[in-house]
Amino acid sequence: MYHSKRILYPDNHSELSESELMEQYGRYFGSNNWVTFSGCPSITLTKVGAKSFESLPEGYEVISIDSGCYIESSNFPAFPSGITKLTSVSVNDRPFGKIVIGKGCVLQGTSICAYEKVSIGNNVIFGPNTVIMDCSGHALSNRDHPDELNNLKVESVTIGNDVWIGYGCIVLPGVNIGDGAVIGAGSVVTKDIPANCMAAGNPCTVKKIELN
């Protein structure tokens, strides 16, 4: 059973101005750090399991976007770009997953889903339609078994500072990407990528080291 609280949702908030979007976001996650919105993203808290919401968690503990970030969810980009989606998930009685985004980051139709934690450093640029997840959302076997939710494999994702991730990449659970790394368009990142290198492919592998 899924129960969702949509903090920002295009169907409900698409007519809001940039300032009004920031005001709506700030009601739940604070307004000390100004975030620039182009179009309305989808920011959702989701509970999975038998229990629905009893109360909302403290916003600062769930989704944190630092100052100077740009969240693109419009049709303006030159390349196809969807709505940015930030989803924090709580399974049964577990805490909500945390999404932590550092200063000066650019998200363009970026989808992030956190069951435990997705941490992004400062000055990270995501090409359009990148997907980042710390859990697949279902078990590999025994689907619909009563214990399926308890057997979900969750592994935090960490992306360092000054990383550039190209168009249409997928970053899978448990991955760590080092500072200054560049990930080529269309890559599927299944393993850790060291700092200051260029990596690409499916699966993503290092193509060039020591970019600096």
Q: Give catalytic residues, as residue numbers.
A: 138
Q: How far apart are CA 164 and CA 99, in angstroms?
A: 18
Q: How far apart are CA 47 and CA 82, in angstroms?
A: 24
Alpha helices by DSSP H, the chain = 10-13, 18-29
- On whether the CB atoms of residues 120 and 110 are closer than 8 A, the answer is no
Cα–Cα distance list, 95 to 5, 99, 149, 163 (Å): 15, 12, 14, 28
Report DSSP state, residue 32: S
